[in-house]
Amino acid sequence: MKTILTLLAAAFSVLAAAPSQAATAWFIDGKCKQSYLKRGTPSDDLTQEEGDPISCNKVSIMALKNGRKLVQFVTGTGVLGFSGWEFDTTTNKTMLIVPVDRIMPVRDLGTETSEIMRRSAQGEGVLNGAEGFCMFDTKRIEAAKQMTCVSKHEVGNKKVVYKIEMDIRKVKKEPNFPDI
């Protein structure tokens, strides 16, 4: 658990703009279903591939002072994150959408807090230029019962696709979460 909290803090610090300001955070309990990671080449049709299953039962969502929105799933192997610049409430009149431009895959960034923070601050473990969305079944995160994140990243001869669906049981909002 300490390692997961350290990883959350490290990923959070990579995206934070100014220290000692407050962010808004939502902590969600739920259960992931039909979630996976698929790998291939840019020309591969991955729609028929099984993919590697992803399990999770917690997610944190943060609206940082620098404007970034961060969605982090606690999986069985670490923290998987998605990030974008806005909470879009105009594209769809009934849903909240976060357009994703970064993926933070589950990575081993070390065991010592200082090493994790150093490697995270250098951008290690971040896939910039991702395309995708995180979507909620309502415009208010506190009222959401379901959410889905779908995103892909292509570089060179590699393509990865993530899909996570979560049935939400409980949401707790923290309006003054430290923006470290």
Tell me the residue ranges of DSSP E strands in the chain: 21-40, 52-53, 56-63, 69-75, 79-84, 96-104, 127-136, 146-155, 158-179
pLDDT tens, position by position, 116-132: 666 666 555 688 899 99
Q: Which segments in the chain show pLDDT lower than 50?
A: 1-20
Show me where the domains of the chain are located.
2-179
CA distance 180 to 160: 30
pLDDT at 162: 94
pLDDT tens, position by position, 74-94: 988 888 999 999 999 999 999
pLDDT at 20: 46
pLDDT at 110: 61
